[in-house]
Structure 1
């Protein structure tokens, strides 16, 4: 099943990805947001905190609850701090 993932990092980055693999979607989210965080100028400890507190829970959600929602024909959205992720079945 093809779905669309959109994400927004407040004041930094908005993007989307379309595919059919939830694990790949979570990986893309980690890579894209991780790259933005890495070049943000935050200290290493702040970057680690961001990844653990905001990014990791949403990545897990994409491959877990997000997958369940999309497979049931529903959308899924979650926010953690400045990061918002939305999944929706592709039309």
Structure 2
């Protein structure tokens, strides 16, 4: 099933990606949000905190809850701190 993943970091960055692999979606999220965090001006400690506290749990939730939601015909979304991620079936 093809789906669209969208995400937003409040006040910083918005993006989207479409595909069929939840693993690839998680990796894309890690890469692109990570790039935005790198460019954000946060110090190294704050960047590590962001990745561990907000990004990692959402990547886990995306992989564990996202597929079941989409396969049952629902949308999936989750937020952690300033980061929001959503999956929807692709049109």
Which residue does the alignment assign to 2:71? 71
TM-score of the aligned structures, taking structure 2 as reference length: 0.96
User: What is the aligned residue count?
Assistant: 91
Report the alpha carbon displacement of residue 17 of structure 1 after superposing the two structures with TM.
0.5
CA distance in 1 between counterparts of 2:34 and 2:54 reads 11
Structure 2 gap segments, 5+ residues each: none
Structure 1 gap segments, 5+ residues each: none
CA distance in 2 between counterparts of 1:61 and 1:68 reads 11
Which residue does the alignment assign to 2:85? 85
Report the alpha carbon displacement of residue 63 of structure 1 after superposing the two structures with TM.
1.1
Which residue does the alignment assign to 2:35? 35
The ranges of structure 1 where at least 4 consecutive aligned residues each deviate by more than 6 angstroms after the TM superposition are none
Report the alpha carbon displacement of residue 76 of structure 1 after superposing the two structures with TM.
0.4
